């Protein structure tokens, strides 16, 4: 199994400065991920209004919240292989069209069934974003900056989440100033919140029309050398000629989707997918319902519906700031600590934050001490999550597979992760209604510690990546001994 980066294109790519076209590609990938963050987390702010407007049961709330995640699972699983077949560029065009149309549909939904359907289709578009984005950046950014650039793009998920929380605060406050604002907010606030996501999607679509770029590595793997030369010249902003002699296709046992389950790649698939699956149980179960959890623990004493939801949305915006701080920490640490060490320490930190939240749920949140515990727990959880596994799982999903099956592998890992997100988003509210906040928040630290253990167990599955001078794409050697 040869992952050698000794061919001419990779050498010139790794020696190249970051060109304008690399930055455009990175910005496009970051924009797609920002849409994902906004859309997944704005639903948490909108849910209380949807519950009132459509008179949703607990099961219907879970179904509404989980629809986009289920769509993402389907999109990652099916569109990852399609991306490997038709190319990153064509799939990106299809993805943006799906996202714009489906987001508009959610804002105009006439009943909960229509809303769930459109949310599912939005999720299909989101599911395609993961393999497209990680493949684009992994294959087109110099190795010395690859880890930082992948995580930097993925950090825009937190930017999107924060933007969603701020959008919620602004929209709710606007309705609070109106006569009959509560009734109007119940009917229209959630539509405006979800519709803003469509406007953001149009902005990303406009950026997409600004340039055209397929991955040269994709063309090399398919032995399309004329196209590879054109795209490499565009990417590196200088004339590049790629031939079968200078850049032979990578020698790999991977040939198709089934290769992901073969002996040479099985442990890589497990490393890329199982910790991500466990992480998403906590990430989405807690993240989407952050305003609801804050409202239930800290602001349940407020009499006014709008006052309670405004306070919860403001609290969510505050703790979501630490999602961004976590990603900044990951960008700084990823090449210093390595992927595995960062992922394990992040899972441990998430467990600590959730344990604090579990304890906070037993205290009187109306006191300064009780309220402080709530925010300390969320801050530690969000900071640890994005400084560790929420960044590294995405990064590893693109690094451990060769180009011929990279989007397929990243898509499969993301799809398995979304199974965890479905379990967290749909299952935790049901468990919460049966067991209460304290029990649910006490179970989640166990999930995080299990993910840390599995990461350690399979840490050597990427060991043979370290066979070239380009160490930045590999896990630290010290972690793999």
Output Rg (C-alpha) for the chain, integer angstroms: 22
Dist. CA 394–CA 285, nearest whole Å: 18
Rounded to an integer, the average pLDDT of 411-416 is 86
CA atoms within 13 A on the CB side of 432: 23
* Nearest-angstrom CA–CA distance, 346 and 143: 24
CB count within 10 Å of CB 378 equals 27
Query: pLDDT for 207-249, tens place per residue?
Result: 766 666 777 887 887 888 888 888 888 888 888 888 888 878 7
How distant is the alpha carbon of residue 415 from its chain centre?
Answer: 11
Distance, in Å, from the CA atom of 353 to the CA atom of 357, rounded to the nearest integer, reads: 6
CA distance 311 to 192: 19
Per-residue pLDDT of 145-197, as tens digits, reads: 888 888 888 888 878 877 887 888 788 878 777 766 677 777 778 888 888 88
Q: Alpha helix locations (H) across 251-304?
A: 263-287, 290-298
Per cent of the chain over pLDDT 90 is 7
- Bigger pLDDT: 396 vs 407: 396
Highest mean pLDDT, choosing among 276-285, 448-457, 460-469: 448-457
Q: In this structure, are residues 275 and 343 in contact, taking their beta carbons and an 8 Å threshold? A: yes
Q: At what angle do helices 20-54 and 305-337 cross, to 10 degrees?
A: 150
CB-CB contact of 38 with 163 (8 Å) = yes
CA–CA separation, 147 and 141 (whole Å): 9
C-alpha dist (Å) from residue 416 to 32, 182, 446? 20, 40, 19
CA distance 357 to 364: 12
Q: Where are any strands of DSSP class E within 307-434? A: none
Q: Give tens-digit pLDDT for 91-143.
A: 777 877 888 888 888 888 888 888 889 889 888 888 877 777 777 788 888 88
Rounded to an integer, what distance in angstroms lies between the CA atom of residue 224 and that of residue 232?
12
190: enclosing H helix or E strand: helix 190-208
Q: How confident is the model at residue 286 (pLDDT cuts 50, 70, 90)?
A: confident
| pLDDT greater than 50 at residue 27 | yes
Section 375-398 average pLDDT: 87
Specify the pLDDT at position 313: 62
Q: Are 43 and 197 in contact (CB under 8 A)?
A: no
d(C-alpha 403, C-alpha 135), whole Å: 8
Average pLDDT, the chain: 77
Look at the pTM and tell me if it is higher than 0.75: no
């Amino acid at each position: 199994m040869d992952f050698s980066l000794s061919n001419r294109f990779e050498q010139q790519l790794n020696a190249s400065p970051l060109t304008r076209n690399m930055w455009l590609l990175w910005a496009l990938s970051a924009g797609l991920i920002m849409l994902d963050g906004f859309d997944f987390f704005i639903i948490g702010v909108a849910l209380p209004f949807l519950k009132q407007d459509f008179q949703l049961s607990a099961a219907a709330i879970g179904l509404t919240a989980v629809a986009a995640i289920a769509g993402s699972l389907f999109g990652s699983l099916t569109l990852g292989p399609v991306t490997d077949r038709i190319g990153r560029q064509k799939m990106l065009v299809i993805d943006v069209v799906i996202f714009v149309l489906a987001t508009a549909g959610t804002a105009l939904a006439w009943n909960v069934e229509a809303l769930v359907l459109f949310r599912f289709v939005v999720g299909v578009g989101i599911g395609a974003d993961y393999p497209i984005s990680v493949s684009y950046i992994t294959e087109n950014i110099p190795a010395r900056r690859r880890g930082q650039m992948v995580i930097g793009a993925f950090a825009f998920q937190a930017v999107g989440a924060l933007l969603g929380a701020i959008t919620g605060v602004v929209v709710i406050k606007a309705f609070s100033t109106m006569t009959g604002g509560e009734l109007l907010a119940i009917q229209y606030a959630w539509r405006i919140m979800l519709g803003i996501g469509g406007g953001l999607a149009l902005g990303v679509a406009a950026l997409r029309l600004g340039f055209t770029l397929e991955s040269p590595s994709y063309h090399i793997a398919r032995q399309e050398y004329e196209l590879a030369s054109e795209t490499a010249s565009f990417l590196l902003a200088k004339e590049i000629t790629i031939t079968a002699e200078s850049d032979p296709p990578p020698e790999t046992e991977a040939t198709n989707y089934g290769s992901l389950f073969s002996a040479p790649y099985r442990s890589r698939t497990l490393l890329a997918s199982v910790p991500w699956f466990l992480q998403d149980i906590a990430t989405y179960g807690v993240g989407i319902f952050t305003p609801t959890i804050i409202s239930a623990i800290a602001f349940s004493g407020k009499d006014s519906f709008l006052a309670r939801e405004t306070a919860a949305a403001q609290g969510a915006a505050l703790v979501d700031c630490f999602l961004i701080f976590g990603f900044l920490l990951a960008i700084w640490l990823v090449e210093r600590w390595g992927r595995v060490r960062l992922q394990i320490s992040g899972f441990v930190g998430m467990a600590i934050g959730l344990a604090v939240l579990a304890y906070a749920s037993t205290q009187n949140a109306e006191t300064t001490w009780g309220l402080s515990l709530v925010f300390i727990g969320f801050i530690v959880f969000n900071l640890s999550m994005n400084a560790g596994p929420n960044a590294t799982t995405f990064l590893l999903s693109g690094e451990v597979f060769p180009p011929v099956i990279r989007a397929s592998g990243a898509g499969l890992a993301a799809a398995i992760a979304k199974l965890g997100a479905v379990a967290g988003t749909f299952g935790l509210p049901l468990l919460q209604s049966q067991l209460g906040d304290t029990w649910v928040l006490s179970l989640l630290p166990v999930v995080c510690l299990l993910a840390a253990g599995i990461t350690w167990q399979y840490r050597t599955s990427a060991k043979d990546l370290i066979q070239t001078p380009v160490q930045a794409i590999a896990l630290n050697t010290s972690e793999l001994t």
